[in-house]
Structure 1
Amino acid sequence: MKQILTSIALIFIIVTCIDDAFAQSETSKSLPVELEPYAAHAFPLEGWGNAVVDPQVPTLHGAPHLLGQWFGARRWLNRHGLYLNFALNEEYMGNVRGGRTRSDVLAGQVASELDIDWQRLAHVSGLWTHMLVINGHGRNFGYNLGDSVTNPEQIYGGRGNVVAHLVALYAEKTFLHKRIVVSAGDIPTGSFFAYDYVACSFMNVSVCSNFAPGKYVPGGRDWPSGNLGGVLRVFPAKKVYIMGGIFMVSPHAYNGGISGWALAQNGMSKVTSQVELGWMPWFGKHSLRGNYKLGAWYDNSRYPNLYSDIHGNSFQLTGQPRRYEAGMSTAWFMFDQMLVRNGPGVAEGLVAVGGAGYSQGNLVAMRDHEWIGLVESGTPWHRRQDQIGAMFQHMDMSGTLSLQQESSRALGMPYLSNQWGPVWGVQHWENVYEAFYSTHVLRNSTTMQFDFQYLQHPGATTTFHDAAVLGIQLTANL
Structure 2
Amino acid sequence: MPVITLPLSPRCRAYVLAVLTAIAFWGTGLPSALAQSETSKSAFTPTDEAVSFPLGGAGQIPIGPLVTSLYGNPHLLGDWGGIQPWLMKRGIFVNVGVNEEFMGNITGGRTRDHVLAGQVAGEVDIDWRKLAGIPDFWTHMLVVNGHGNNFSHTLGDYVANPEQIYGARGNVVAHLVSLYADKSFLHDRIILSFGWMPTGSFFNFDYLACSFMNVAICGNFAPGKYVPGGRDWPSGNLGGIVRFRPTERTYIMAGAFGVTQAGYNGGISGWSWGQKMSGVSTQAELGWSPSFGRDDLLGHYKIGAYYDNSRYPNLYEDINGNSFQATGLPRRYESGQWSSWLMFDQMLVRNGKGVANGLIAIGGLGYAQGNIVAMRDHEWIGLLESGTPWNRPMDQAGIMFQNIDMSHTLRLQQQSSAALGVPFLSNQWGTVYGVQNWERVYEAFYSVHLLRATSLQFDFQYLQHPGATTTFGGAAVVGGQFTTNF
TM-score of the superposition, structure 2-length normalised?
Answer: 0.87
Kindly provide the amino acid, as one letter, of the partner of residue 114 in structure 2: D
CA deviation vs aligned residue, 1:251-291 (integer Å, no higher than 9, x gap):
211000000001121x2141000000000112222221111
Residue 165 of structure 1 is aligned with which of 144, 154, 175? 175
CA distance in 2, matches of 1:315, 1:393: 33
> Are positions 1:448 and 2:451 aligned together?
no
> Are positions 1:363 and 2:367 aligned together?
no
Sequence identity of aligned pairs in percent? 66
Report which stretch shifted further, 52-61 or 136-145: 52-61
Instruction: Call closer, same or farther: CA 1:93–1:303 in 2, change over 3 Å.
Output: same
CA deviation vs aligned residue, 1:18-44 (integer Å, no higher than 9, x gap):
xxxxxxxxxxxxxxxxxxxxx867999
Q: Which residue of 2 aligns with 1:474?
A: 482
Residue 186 of structure 1 is aligned with which of 161, 182, 196? 196
Kindly provide the amino acid, as one letter, of the partner of residue 166 in structure 1: L
Instruction: Call closer, same or farther: CA 1:42–1:262 in 2, change over 3 Å.
Output: closer
CA distance in 2, matches of 1:49, 1:224: 24
Q: Tell me, yes or no, if the aligned pair for 1:107 and 1:157 is still in contact at 8 Å.
A: no
Q: Tell me, yes or no, if the aligned pair for 1:48 and 1:59 is still in contact at 8 Å.
A: no
Residue 348 of structure 1 is aligned with which of 348, 352, 357? 357
Q: Tell me, yes or no, if the aligned pair for 1:50 and 1:58 is still in contact at 8 Å.
A: no
> Are positions 1:112 and 2:122 aligned together?
yes
Q: Tell me, yes or no, if the aligned pair for 2:64 and 2:182 is still in contact at 8 Å.
A: no
> Are positions 1:401 and 2:401 aligned together?
no
Residue 135 of structure 1: SS of its match in structure 2?
strand
The alignment of Structure 1 onto Structure 2 pairs a total of residues equal to 438
Residue 222 of structure 1 is aligned with which of 232, 236, 239? 232
Residue 220 of structure 2 is aligned with which of 190, 210, 219? 210
Larger radius of gyration: 1
Kindly provide the amino acid, as one letter, of the partner of residue 285 in structure 2: E
Residue 246 of structure 1: SS of its match in structure 2?
strand
Q: Which residue of 1 aligns with 2:308?
A: 299
Kindly provide the amino acid, as one letter, of the partner of residue 405 in structure 1: Q
Aligned-pair distance for 1:64? Answer: 1.7
Structure 2's unaligned 5+ residue stretches are 1-27, 35-49, 56-61
Q: Which residue of 1 aligns with 2:393?
A: 384
Kindly provide the amino acid, as one letter, of the partner of residue 352 in structure 1: A
Q: Tell me, yes or no, if the aligned pair for 2:145 and 2:169 is still in contact at 8 Å.
A: yes
Q: Tell me, yes or no, if the aligned pair for 1:305 and 1:362 is still in contact at 8 Å.
A: yes
Instruction: Call closer, same or farther: CA 1:195–1:50 in 2, change over 3 Å.
Output: farther
Aligned-pair distance for 1:344? Answer: 3.0
Q: Which residue of 2 aligns with 1:315?
A: 324
Q: Which residue of 2 aligns with 1:464?
A: 472
Please identify runs of 4+ aligned residues in structure 1 that moved more than 6 A: 41-45, 48-51
Q: Tell me, yes or no, if the aligned pair for 1:108 and 1:157 is still in contact at 8 Å.
A: no
Kindly provide the amino acid, as one letter, of the partner of residue 213 in structure 1: P
Q: Tell me, yes or no, if the aligned pair for 1:48 and 1:56 is still in contact at 8 Å.
A: no
Residue 312 of structure 1: SS of its match in structure 2?
coil
Q: Tell me, yes or no, if the aligned pair for 1:105 and 1:141 is still in contact at 8 Å.
A: yes
Residue 124 of structure 2: SS of its match in structure 1?
strand
CA deviation vs aligned residue, 1:428-476 (integer Å, no higher than 9, x gap):
0000000000011112x11100000000000000000000000010000
Q: Which residue of 2 aligns with 1:9?
A: none
Structure 1's unaligned 5+ residue stretches are 1-38
Instruction: Call closer, same or farther: CA 1:42–1:226 in 2, change over 3 Å.
Output: closer
> Are positions 1:65 and 2:75 aligned together?
yes
Kindly provide the amino acid, as one letter, of the partner of residue 325 in structure 1: E
CA deviation vs aligned residue, 1:147-204 (integer Å, no higher than 9, x gap):
0101101111431000000001100011111110000000100000000110000000
> Are positions 1:263 and 2:262 aligned together?
no
Q: Tell me, yes or no, if the aligned pair for 1:44 and 1:345 is still in contact at 8 Å.
A: no
CA distance in 1, matches of 2:397, 2:32: 21
> Are positions 1:325 and 2:348 aligned together?
no
Q: Which residue of 2 aligns with 1:284?
A: 293
CA distance in 2, matches of 1:397, 1:42: 33
Q: Tell me, yes or no, if the aligned pair for 1:183 and 1:230 is still in contact at 8 Å.
A: yes
CA distance in 2, matches of 1:40, 1:96: 43
Instruction: Call closer, same or farther: CA 1:368–1:374 in 2, change over 3 Å.
Output: same
Instruction: Call closer, same or farther: CA 1:383–1:54 in 2, change over 3 Å.
Output: farther
CA distance in 2, matches of 1:107, 1:259: 18
Aligned-pair distance for 1:393? Answer: 0.1
> Are positions 1:431 and 2:440 aligned together?
yes
Q: Which residue of 1 aligns with 2:41?
A: none
CA deviation vs aligned residue, 1:31-58 (integer Å, no higher than 9, x gap):
xxxxxxxx86799985498973479855
Report which stretch shifted further, 389-398 or 278-287: 278-287
Q: Which residue of 2 aligns with 1:17?
A: none
CA distance in 1, matches of 2:184, 2:351: 33
Kindly provide the amino acid, as one letter, of the partner of residue 240 in structure 1: T
Q: Which residue of 2 aligns with 1:20?
A: none
Aligned-pair distance for 1:78? Answer: 0.8
Residue 253 of structure 2 is aligned with which of 239, 243, 268? 243
> Are positions 1:103 and 2:110 aligned together?
no
Kindly provide the amino acid, as one letter, of the partner of residue 290 in structure 1: G
> Are positions 1:137 and 2:137 aligned together?
no
CA distance in 1, matches of 2:207, 2:52: 9
Report which stretch shifted further, 152-161 or 329-338: 152-161
CA deviation vs aligned residue, 1:229-261 (integer Å, no higher than 9, x gap):
000000001110000000000121100000000
CA distance in 2, matches of 1:333, 1:67: 40
Residue 127 of structure 1 is aligned with which of 106, 120, 137? 137
Kindly provide the amino acid, as one letter, of the partner of residue 66 in structure 1: L
Aligned-pair distance for 1:370? Answer: 0.1
CA deviation vs aligned residue, 1:204-245 (integer Å, no higher than 9, x gap):
000111000000000000000001000000000111000000
Aligned-pair distance for 1:143? Answer: 1.2
CA distance in 2, matches of 1:402, 1:157: 26
Instruction: Call closer, same or farther: CA 1:199–1:275 in 2, change over 3 Å.
Output: same
Q: For 1:77-96, what aligned pairs fall within 5 Å after superposition?
A: 77-96=87-106
Kindly provide the amino acid, as one letter, of the partner of residue 202 in structure 1: F
